[in-house]
Amino acid sequence: MESLESQLGKELANLDVSESDQKYIRYYLDLIKQKDTPTSEHSMRLAILGPKVARCLGPTMDQRAMLFTGGLHDIGKIEIEDDVLKKTKGFSAEDMEKMVAHPIISYLILEKVDLCSAEMALRHHHNQEDGYPSTEVINRLSKLTNGEKAKIEYHSLIFSRLDVYDAATNRKNDKYDGKVLTPEEVRPILIEQNPEVANEVNTLYDAGVLGSKKIIVPGIEIMVPGKKDQGVSIATTINEKA
Ligand SMILES: [Fe+2]
Ligand SMILES: [Fe+2]
């Protein structure tokens, strides 16, 4: 299976991201890797998935912003102490105060490269069950004009679906009885939380951008798109295992 680093490198080149922006993103991805491997892998996966999702949903989507946001939306966690970061339950009020700050720190880091991405990072938990930071805090920090607001709010909704999708399908979560969910189990959760983008979620599943299953047989890995009427015979990629 191709490494996350290699897939990200191809996407950065594909989107013509400047050398200096690539350095900036990689610098912070390295920092989060040293701090917390699961968050680093989650961020890399979302940096790779974000542009694919944008391409699938059409030309109004900003592929670069989806990549930057995916990579650095959780970068604010570098400021959270390890014992709080590793917790999955039993957060005290003080712990929560630290957790709630991470989208704000991510915003401050990302606004130096891309304002759209920064605003998406600021809002990435707002559309989730956690609902932070508050609308008041977002409005106080936001530098968006009214014209830009609708675009960013839509992108933020889509991105928050990807954030929940990736976390739920890759990490055990107390919200789901300590289980890692399958892509199909996450689909109704994504729609229930934000029904205004139900069509987009279904489009992504039907196209196999979300929900592809990895089947491992000795020596090879086969990615099978999630659409129900597509079978193993149309596997999109077959990769020699390194
Ligand atoms: Fe986050
Ligand atoms: Fe995240």
Structural domains of the chain ordered from first start: 4-211 (1.10.3210.10), 212-242 (no CATH)
pLDDT of amino acid 53 = 97
- From the CA of 121, which ligand is nearest? 1
What is the pTM (predicted TM-score) of this model?
0.86
Query: Residue 157 CB: number of other CB atoms within 10 A?
Result: 18
Distances (CA, A) of 26 to 43, 70, 94, 99, 145: 11, 12, 31, 23, 29
- From the CA of 165, which ligand is nearest? 2
Query: Is the separation of the CB atoms in 208 and 225 below 8 Å?
Result: yes
Strand partners, 221: 216, 239
Centre of ligand 1 to C-alpha 161, Å, is 12
- Which residue in 1, 18, 14, 75 sits closest to 48, CA to CA? 14
* Residues with C-beta atoms within 5 A of ion ligand 1: 74
Helical packing angle, 146-170 and 183-193, nearest 10°: 150
- For 143-192, the pLDDT digits (tens) are 998 888 999 999 999 999 999 999 999 988 888 888 999 999 999 999 99
Q: Which helix (H) or strand (E) holds 86?
A: none
Centre of ligand 2 to C-alpha 110, Å, is 14
Mean pLDDT of the chain: 87
Centre of ligand 1 to C-alpha 219, Å, is 35
pLDDT of amino acid 147 = 85
